[in-house]
Amino acid sequence: MQVDIILFTTFSVFALTASIMVISSANAVHSVLFLILVFCNIAGLLLLFGAEFLSFMLLIVYVGAIAVLFLFVVMMLNIKKMSVKQSFFSIGPLGLTIFSILFTQLSEVLNVFNIFHLKQNNLIWVSWIIENQNVTNIQVVGSVLYTKYCFLFILSGLILLVAMVGAIVLTLHQRTDARKQKIEIQLNRTFGGSLKFIDIRK
């Protein structure tokens, strides 16, 4: 068995197991951690398929931003376990309905593209030494993004910067009665104005 088949099977099994644990775990923090594990395994599968850009974007956007945000919100709300216990008979019909709809759509897509009829009799061996000299997906996307769409890229970065500064300004609350240190007044003080001699009567 080749190494890529072993890695594909490993990532697939871990992704399926972690996805089942996401919906079956009673602890919300554990569900978010299993969701991060699902994203990491899917990123590994995309990396095996040759989609390096999608794999790294999945790690950066979903794992680095959205999943961490979910975990932060769950830990702030202190949600440990589900307060209301629901039986299988109350949510079972809805779940089976959604599963049947998604399975029907997936089967229609597979029948349209005739994926089940695709056969490969002769296996093609890929030489990674030769493939290493070719241009990768990340280099192609980067060359297009930073040359043809550079203005839009800089504009999106400026919009994100304004949004970040606006969020900081809106959440920054300063006390009016707080005694602050004024550096310019301290630097302008002289020796004569700093010391005072007081006569104490005995």
State the pLDDT at residue 56: 85
The per-residue pLDDT for range 126-135, each reduced to its tens digit, is: 666 666 677 7
Task: Report the predicted TM-score, pTM, of the whole model to 2 decimal places.
Answer: 0.55
The answer to whether the beta carbons of residues 53 and 138 sit under 8 Å apart is yes
pLDDT band, very low/low/confident/very high, at 101 (cuts 50, 70, 90): very high
Considering 79-93, 110-124, 163-177, the range whose residues carry the highest mean pLDDT is: 163-177
Give the CB-side neighbour count of residue 120, counting CA atoms within 13 A. 5
The answer to whether the beta carbons of residues 162 and 75 sit under 8 Å apart is no
pLDDT band, very low/low/confident/very high, at 201 (cuts 50, 70, 90): confident
Q: Whose structure tokens read 């008979």? A: 89
Q: How far apart are CA 110 and CA 116, in angstroms?
A: 7
Which residues have C-beta within 8 Å of that of residue 80, sequence separation ≥ 6? 27, 28, 29
**In this structure, how many other beta carbons lie within 10 angstroms of the beta carbon of residue 67?**
19
At residue 144, what is the residue type? V
Q: Whose structure tokens read 């709300």? A: 77
Q: All domains of the chain, ordered by start, with CATH?
A: 1-82 (1.20.120.1200)
**In this structure, how many other beta carbons lie within 10 angstroms of the beta carbon of residue 88?**
8
The residue count of the chain comes to: 202
Q: Which of 23-27, 33-37, 179-183 has the lowest mean pLDDT?
A: 179-183
